[in-house]
Amino acid sequence: MMSEKNDNLLSVRDLVVEYTSGGEIIHAVNGVSFELEKGKTLGLVGETGAGKTTIAKSILRVLLSPPAKVKSGEILLEGTDLLKVREDEMLKIRGAKISMIFQDPMTALNPTMTIGNQIAEGIRLHNDVSALEAEKMAIDMLQSVRIMEERFHEYPFQFSGGMKQRVVIAMALACKPKLLLADEPTTALDVTIQAQVLDTMRDLRNQLGTSMILITHDLGIVAENCDTVAVIYAGQIVESGSKEDIFDHASHPYTVGLFHSLPMWAMGEKRLHPIDGLPPDPRIEPNGCMFRFRCPRATKACEATVPNAELTSGHFCRCIAPKEEV
């Protein structure tokens, strides 16, 4: 999923991340490469444990080391390799250029500070403004996520789960970052609140021109919010391309399996068709096609190195015998 476009905001190249646990190496991210254009949204989809959150935390450089270690690769934000930037410079980048919406709003907020002060703190850190100006900017951000000014001085425990997530969104976008990392931002919310939060994120993204990486298990959310999609399996991108490429021309057996796992009542399907088996043990050194242990089309050739072939312009698939299924 690599190109030479000048309008790319982010380029991740051959990223390898490992964890050490009990003296053993956990291969979390295995040579991931992708690019994100300015103002666009990339969806990262895949099963739990595939490495999606590790990729996002690597970009923001908030992985706990040890046990995590970025073994190799590049993360270029507007041409600057974030992996080579000093920590004091990264402090200026986090929040101002890159922000993250974490999966659980309950743990993303400080319970001892009012929600208004938490937003204003980030604004003052990255902008040369007075406390009064920061408060006014924080109030404006709260209102943009449909939270009244009167709630500025309230604490997180006084908000519902959906309202907390809106506060986290306001905090993440307060300094108008160029890149927003959204790690399953609606997982803990009911369907109605999910829709409201996604609408808010979409509106603010359009207003600010922010690029976004959206991590999710929900292919419906991907269909409504993403421009491009990367399917992650066992720490690798197994298929990537435009939303239309993935939804209309799914070619990797894992991608096809994800779509077959969805309820298809309107199409006459009576039962779900889950993917058999479990993801491989991440302690196993990655080699060949990591999906071969579960793939109904696997052959002996799948044990060898599998190239990331370009099926059509911008549509890549890591499979020796990709088969399009609509």
Give 147-192 pLDDT, tens digit per residue. Answer: 999 999 999 999 988 888 889 888 888 888 999 999 988 776 777 7
What pairs with residue 16 in β-bridges?
Answer: 30, 72
pLDDT at 249: 93
Q: H-helix or E-strand containing 24?
A: strand 24-37
**What is the Rg, in whole angstroms, of the alpha carbon atoms belonging to the chain?**
20
Neighbours of 127 (CB within 10 A): 14
pLDDT at 3 over 80: no
C-beta separation of 117 from 148 below 8 A? no
CATH architecture of 8-97+178-197+206-317: 3-Layer(aba) Sandwich (3.40)
Closest CA to 178 of 33, 6, 38: 38
Residue spans of the domains in the chain: they are 8-97+178-197+206-317, 108-176
Higher-confidence position of 92 and 326: 92
Closest CA to 264 of 274, 253, 254: 274
pLDDT at 105 over 80: no
Q: Does the predicted model carry a pTM greater than 0.75?
A: yes
pLDDT at 146 over 90: no
pLDDT at 28: 94
CA–CA dist 305, 208 (Å, integer): 42
